[in-house]
Structures are given as structure tokens and as C-alpha cells.
Amino acid sequence: MDSKIKINSKLPNAVTTIFTEMNKVAQEYQALNLAQGFPDFEVSKKLISLVSSYMEKGFNQYAPMQGALRLRQVVSNSFKLMHHVDYDAVNEITITSGATQAIYTAIATVVRPGDEVIVVEPAFDIYHPAIEMYGAVSVPIKLKAPEYRIDWNEFAGLITEKTSMIIINTPHNPTSAVFLEEDMLQLQQLTNGTNITVVSDEVYEHIIFDGLQHQSVCRFPQLAARSFLIGSFGKTFHVTGWKVGFCIAPEKMMHEFRKIHQNVVFAGNHPMQLGIAEYMEEPENYIHVSEFYQQKRDYFINLMQGSRLKPITSHGTYFQMFSYSEISDMSDMEFVVWLAREHKVAAIPLSYFYSDKFDEKCIRICFAKNDKTLIEAAEKLCKI
């Protein structure tokens, strides 16, 4: 239908996400899709039956605006168990429609026109558009390869009077790097005495390898006091399509967060919240997720021995990066299309996650797949 309406775009530079693009490419070339981050194995039958039981019991109307109290309580208990911290389920935790909505809402709560927001890059692609929507400017800082660590001197130089927020993500998508305790102490020290808020995207909190400790902001009291801590049940329980997440913040910050949350979505999905709550009341259901994915990572890396794609150690998340610099000097955008067309595997180019499209000749592959898919992928990739 033709329309004479002129919309002055709020996101004039936004493009279709790489995930949609690569899903299309994968379909066109009938390639194995290891691009978008979603598991292809079964969800716990117990969890599914709990969710259906709540639907059958009639919990099909709006959840409380803050989220089902039972789930907030379980989230609070899980942070006590994992990090020995106390969060008040009533005033400091809100259940959201996925981490995406939680992050958007946190940015909307704080960021104003003219503000600067420091974003660690490569960065998951939902941060920059939300910052732009609220008239602020993203100030990117690059992680340094090959370990993908922060240069804290450089970081300190980026903080100005206009900095209203810092966005971090650990374990990190797409590099699979994790922040160490010393990183968090640096961040705490740099923000002490300022009015800067932190969004700590911790959606992969339960997917961390080799005995490393997840350095949640909640473990650092002065950081916790300025942070919106974001989580996602989709990642932990292999249910990315359910879009249930949460935000934790000190009461004063959470009070403002909820003013926006109630107007954006009012409340998240009720029966899923109740099903997840009952499932999570048994910590056995989430404390072994790291082991599960570490085994997948090791299995896949083992299958990939002999490949000319060189792995960059994955310390967490369900992603593995590979350098292809020994194979080709194509740009990473060209390389992923070539890979899908010629070798029938779809991956994500790393440059997509940099605002200046910095090209390190690396691709990201999702290994949250069953063994059969991983064997097939490795067979194809080892032929390059």
C-alpha cells in the first residue's frame, strides 16, 4: 500500500540484523546454521510440563508488573547461592520480557540527550540503537586481541562529565572472553565518586569454563550500588524463544526502572515465570550448565583439530571464535557468505559487532548444538 506519511526515522542508520541476514543466507545455500545463538537440543521435559501445568491451572492472565514474586525470590536465592549477596525480591528484582527488554529499559531509565555511554566492543547489537534512541552518544572502547582484555588506562581516558552509563558484558558475546576480578576492581575504582551507572549484561552467567569464577557486578559492593544487573533464563535453560529475563538493581534505581518497564511491557509472560520459578527452586537445575557447555566446547574443538580455522579460546558463552587469516584475506562479511555458499556452514562475522566495522578476520560459531550437528559442521569446516 502506498503511503504519503513521512517518518523522520529515529534510527536512520539501522540495518536488518546480521542474524536475520545470515539466517536468509543459510536458507538460500542450505547451509548448517551455526550463526544465530540458539540451542538445537531438547528443553527439559520437566520445565515444559511445569509451564503447561501453570497454564492448565489457569495462570493465563497478567503477571504482577514486577514479575511473579516466586520467581523474583528464586532469582534472589540464586544470587545468594552463587555470589553470597542479598537482593530484596520485593524491591530490587524485576522480571522482564527477555534481557533485551531489560537492557533497553535500563538505558531508557538513565540516558538523556547529550549523554555519553561507554560501550565495550565488539558489542552485542542491541546497545547502540537504544543509546541513539535517547539522543545520547556511544563511546566505544575495543577489547584487545588475542585475549580480548580491556586496557584500563585507555578506558579511564574516555570518562568525561557527560558519561552517564557504562555497558559491560561478561561472559562476553561474541569473543567468549570473561572479565577477571582485577577488571571489576578497576571498573569499581574508576567509577567511585561519580554518578555513572553500569549496565552489566550477564546473560551467560551460568556458562563459564575451566573453573573460572563469573565476576558479577554484585560481588563488588560499590559497583553493585550503581548497576543494573541483567540476566536471561533463555540462555540458562535453552529456551531463547520464551524471552524471559530479569533486572536487578538497588531499590532507588529499580523504582525508576519500573516506571519505564510498566509502560513498555507492563508485565512479562505469567505461566512461564511460574514454571521457571518452580524449576529453579532446585539449584541442581542450573548449577551444572557450565559443565554441560564446557563439554560441548571441548567436543567441538576436538573435532576441529586439523582445521585451518584457528580457534580463539572460549572462556564462556556458547560461542567459539575462529580466525581465518591463514585461509583467506577476504573481508569477514565476504568470508561468511563464501563459507555458506561453498562449505555449507553459516557463521557470524566479528566486524558486525564493531561500530567502525573493524575486521580482524574472525568468525563466531555457535556450539549450542547436538553432537550430530557439531560432527557435521566440523566435517564441512575441516575440508576448507
Ligand X SMILES: Cc1ncc(COP(=O)(O)O)c(C=O)c1O
For binding to ligand X (CB under 6 A), which residues are involved? 37, 98-100, 124, 169, 173, 201, 203, 232, 234, 240, 243, 245
- In the numeric block, the cell 536512520 is attached to 12
Backbone angles phi, psi at 113, to 5 degrees: -55, 135
Please state the closest distance from residue 4 (CB atom) to ligand X, in A.
36
Tell me the sheet residues that pair with 228: 199
Please state the closest distance from residue 193 (CB atom) to ligand X, in A.
29
Please state the closest distance from residue 7 (CB atom) to ligand X, in A.
26
Please state the closest distance from residue 83 (CB atom) to ligand X, in A.
19
**CA 338 and chain centroid, separation:** 27
Residue type, 301: I
Please state the closest distance from residue 366 (CB atom) to ligand X, in A.
10
Please state the closest distance from residue 187 (CB atom) to ligand X, in A.
17
**CB-based contact 244:95 (threshold 8 Å):** yes
Residue type, 142: K
- What beta strand segments (E) does the chain contain? 32-33, 93-96, 116-121, 137-142, 163-169, 197-201, 227-232, 245-248, 310-312, 319-323, 345-346, 348-349, 362-366
- Give the β-pairing of 245-248 and 93-96: antiparallel
Distance, in Å, from the CA atom of 204 to the CA atom of 375, rounded to the nearest integer, reads 24
Please state the closest distance from residue 221 (CB atom) to ligand X, in A.
24
Within 10 A of 213 (CB to CB), how many other CB atoms are there?
12
Please state the closest distance from residue 273 (CB atom) to ligand X, in A.
13
**CB-based contact 67:246 (threshold 8 Å):** yes
Q: Give residue number: closest CB to ligand X.
A: 98
Total residue length of the chain? 384
**Residue closer to ligand X (CB basis): 98 or 307:** 98
**Residue closer to ligand X (CB basis): 199 or 336:** 199
The residues, any chain, with a CB within 8 Å of residue 43's CB and separated by 6 or more, are: 237, 238, 239
> What angle (nearest 5°) sits at the alpha carbon of residue 248, between those of residues 247 and 250?
135
- Give the β-pairing of 319-323 and 362-366: antiparallel
**CB-based contact 132:110 (threshold 8 Å):** no
Residue 280, classed as helix, strand or coil, is helix
With left for phi above 0 and alpha for psi between -120 and 50, is residue 230 left, alpha or beta? Answer: beta
Q: For the sheet containing 245-248, what is the strand order?
A: 93-96, 245-248, 227-232, 197-201, 163-169, 116-121, 137-142
Please state the closest distance from residue 37 (CB atom) to ligand X, in A.
5
Please state the closest distance from residue 19 (CB atom) to ligand X, in A.
9
